[in-house]
Structure 1
Amino acid sequence: MVAELADFLQIVPWPPAPGVAFWAALALVAGALLGELVRRVFSVPRIVGYGIVGGVIGFAGFGAGTLTGTARLIVDLALALLLFELGSRVNLRWLRANPALLLTSAAEALGSFVAIYFALRLFGQPVNVALTCAAMGSCASGAVIARVAGELKAAGQVSERMIVLTSLNTLFAVLAFKLVSGWLHLDVAGDWVRAVSQPLWAFAGSVGVAALLAALVAWIARRLDLRDENAALLLLGLVVLALMVAKQFNLSTLLVPLLAGVLLRNSSERPWVWPRHFGTAGGVLVLMLFVIVGSAGSVPALLAGGVTALVLLAARAAAKTAVVVVLARPSGLRMRQALGLSLALTPMSGTALVLLADLQAGHAAFAPLVAPIIVSAIAFTEVLGPLLVQWGLHLAGEQQPQAKPADYRVVTA
């Protein structure tokens, strides 16, 4: 009876077989609803809700697992927008005026790399696995930090240092990963030319595309009001176009938007005014980013790499905290602010997952040794990370949840 009615109404196929678009829309609705629920009920950032939805999808066995196809494209686009905004808040003049801050950045990135490497070696991991995990695990998640700081209207010394340190250690981590990737080519195939040329090409090419993107945005900003909707769409299109160029020429999809933002910020003394997340389309991409990243976790991954991931996270947290606390006074921070800053550097998220996807594309046979560790580390911090950023900002006295919402943000730091 029902089948006959469906045939009469031309409902084909019957019974219905929802496709990817249906489940993506359902995840989007669930993420938005749960994000708003946790914000109102528990006063925590919305991305906690997004991460929970992704985690449920992943541990139910329906997650992405690895970034491929549409999932990789969404993550790349969302990270490009967030990293571009993040980079546009990095004032290099501040680093010249406060060398201790630059030292803190270099030391916490190097300290994290060294601590992770030796911790994993002590727990019996091979040299190449320890090196790769150290490169991926040394950076904090720019996506999480940018989103939480924006949602909480955070402002102050710790907030700005959090942005600067995250931007710089993302840069360091990508460069370290490219060098480790080159080493893997040398170790496995003995290919010196490929080992040297690929990191150089990735860095030099990314700088070139980033410089072009920054120049185009600056040219547009002199002629259009960036707060206008059409200008926002134009900015979004330029960032996406630069990202597509980076993918076509095997450049870093992380470095291009980040460096473009940094170059743009430091090309002029005047503040830049950005549409928040480049409008509604950007907001949707950001929501899907955290759902997709959250869905990367799985029970098999935790069983295979969960314990090692906890070792990685403990070594990483100890190194970052030690460096930030030791260099707090020379860089101009009080101890309470230093502890808040070290908490804010905890998250591992989309950046590490993109680096893992790049590893899987370039070293398919080796990647399965690393994937369970990195995926488990991301799963452990996907929900906890945003909470630690919020607690860190609260500890530093820079959380402003009662601030009036703004559609646009003035970048002055």
Structure 2
Amino acid sequence: MPDYADLGLQLAWPLAMALAWMAGELIYRWTALPRIAVYGLAGFCFGNLAAGYLPPSESKNFMLLASLGFGLILFELGYRINLRWLRSNPWIVVTSLLEAAGTFAAVYAVAHFFGMERLPAALTASLAMSSSPAGLLRVLNEQGAAGQVTERAMHLTALNCVMAVFTFSVVVGIGLFQTSGDLAHAAGSSLLVLGASAGLGALFGTLVPLWLRLIDAAEGATLAFALAVVLLVAVTHVLQFSPVLAALTFGLVARHRRTALSPAQRNFGVLGDLLAVLMFFFVATRVEMEHVTGGIALGLLLVLVRAVVKIGVCTALARVSGISARKGALSGMALTPMAVFAILLMEQTHWMGVDLLDSLAPLAAAMLLLDIAGPVLTQRAVVWANETRLAKEV
């Protein structure tokens, strides 16, 4: 006789994700709310209702698949970054530097003022600097968005990711130094990982377009890049590098090697859609109810502080960077998503022996709020900027 309890556990993940996808489709059609917000809410409910019943191995397997989905999105973001635009309009870089630095300072000050220790406050602030490429790109592609706010949000997000990864690695290195007492080793290890990750991504970004030109397979570029991203993410996991920097650099270098992706293949087709459901569902299961309830007040305050700084800086520098103050504010509003980037980055520190999800309750609360509200605010930003597919048709 089959063990029905064991069978139920084996079917729990795929069944829950199928239901999350169905709920996302229905709610999107009824309310136009972003699908990924529904996936995140479903994942949070599933993760807390099924806590203690699911085998740990399942979580590890889904973590790798979520990282693969995130790698595809990071590649696409890097592929859509135009370095020539940044050189011709350096105010975009200045805006990113100021809003990221301002976010770090403000979030750190507020977190430390309300009782967080210096190291957890710095880790929270470094993650708050970032904007999640996953939340941003999925909403932009879902809406068919294009325009000044869309392009600026993508470039600011890419810059934010790089600065957040660097700052986060430095702060983690300081934490390891406090444990080991070896500052040179801790700092050197962090910087070496970042440099090696970027170098590996650049290598893939050079070799894959070279291979495509060699075999004259421009029409198969999407499949080649998808397989390369899967390999790159797997290699970075094995070598304990940063898949974030590697995939982002891969896309950036590949774009400037002049290999074109068909616009119809944004999101990497069905493969990207499938991994997106899994990714947004899985990362939300990592946020535990007790962490949310324990840090909800401070988490909400940190979300508000982060939003005020990002929107404020983008608005203040809008005119000198070539857009109206209104579009500057909408660009800052589009940067709201953070959850997927932050959770996957924290998960990647487990090999260092640093378990951040259990120690940063206010951040867990903030991530849950932004996992659900972030995509909605990004959607509203491009809709109000009249940059969606529907707005163009009208």
> Any residues of structure 2 matched to 1:237-316 within 5 Å, and which?
237-268=227-258, 271-273=260-262, 275-316=265-306
1:320 to partner: Cα distance: 0.6
- Relative to structure 2, which stretch is displaced further, 394-403 or 343-352? 394-403
* 1:388 alignment counterpart: 377
CA contact (8 A) 1:340 1:394 kept: no
Q: 1:141 aligns with which of 108, 118, 132?
A: 132
315, 324, 340: which one aligns with 2:314: 324
Q: Cα 1:60–1:320, aligned 2, differ >3 Å: closer, same or farther?
A: same
Corresponding letter in the other structure for 2:205: A
Query: What's 1:210 paired with?
Result: 201
Are residue 375 (structure 1) and residue 358 (structure 2) matched? no
Shift of 1:182: 1.1
Q: Counterpart in 1 of 2:225?
A: 235
Cα distance in structure 2, aligned partners of 1:389 and 1:100: 22
Output one character per residue of 1:196-222: Cα deviation in whole Å (capped at 9) or x when no partner.
Answer: 211221111112210111012212332
Q: CA deviation at 1:366?
A: 6.5
CA RMSD of aligned residues (A): 2.3
Alpha carbons 2:346, 2:356 under 8 Å: kept: no
Deviation for aligned residue 1:285: 0.8
Partner of 2:319: helix, strand, or coil?
A: helix
**1:411 match:** none
Q: Which moved more, 1:146-155 or 1:215-224?
A: 215-224
SS at match of 1:30: helix
Instruction: Using structure 1 for the length normalisation, give the TM-score.
Output: 0.88
User: Which of residues 79, 96, 105 in structure 2 aligns to 1:114?
Assistant: 105
Residue by residue over 1:12-61, the C-alpha shift from the partner in whole angstroms, topping out at 9 and shown as x without a partner, is: 31545325541222123212211111111111222122122212213424
Partner of 1:154: 145
Q: Structure 1 pair 17/52, CA: closer, same or farther in 2 (3 Å)?
A: same
Aligned to 2:120: 129
Q: Which residue of structure 2 lines up, in the alignment, with residue 62 of structure 1?
A: 51
**Number of equivalent positions:** 389
Gaps of 5+ in 2: none
In 1, Cα distance between equivalents of 2:257 and 2:222: 20
Equivalent residue of 1:368, what SS?
coil
Larger helix percent: 2
- Please give the per-residue CA displacement for 1:176-202, whole angstroms capped at 9, x wherever unaligned: 111111111222321123222112211
Q: Which amino acid aligns with 1:384?
A: A
| Aligned counterpart in structure 2 of residue 38 of structure 1, from 27, 35, 55 | 27
Q: Deviations over 1:251-283 (max 9, x none)?
A: 101111011111222333x75436233232222
Q: Which amino acid aligns with 2:147?
A: G
1:402 Cα deviation from its structure 2 partner:
7.1
Distance change (3 Å), C-alpha of 1:358 and 1:125: same
Residue 340 of structure 1: CA displacement?
1.2
Q: How far did residue 299 of structure 1 move?
A: 1.9
CA 1:353 to 1:365, structure 2 compared with 1: closer, same or farther past 3 Å? closer
1:153, distance to aligned residue in structure 2 (A):
0.3
CA distance in 2, matches of 1:23, 1:358: 25
| Unaligned stretches of 5+ residues in structure 1 | 1-11, 405-413
3-state DSSP class of the match of 2:101?
helix
Which one is further off, 283-292 or 15-24? Answer: 15-24
Task: Report the Cα offset of residue 361 of structure 1.
Answer: 3.4
Out of 169-178 and 53-62, give the one that drifted further.
53-62
> Which residue pairs with 2:90 in the alignment?
99
Alignment-mate amino acid for residue 257 of structure 2: S
Cα shift readout 1:317-361 (whole Å, capped 9, x = no counterpart): 111111101101111111221121111111112110012213343
Amino acid in the other structure paired with 1:24: W
- Does structure 2 conserve the Cα–Cα contact (< 8 Å) formed by 1:348 and 1:377? no
SS in 1 for 2:327: helix
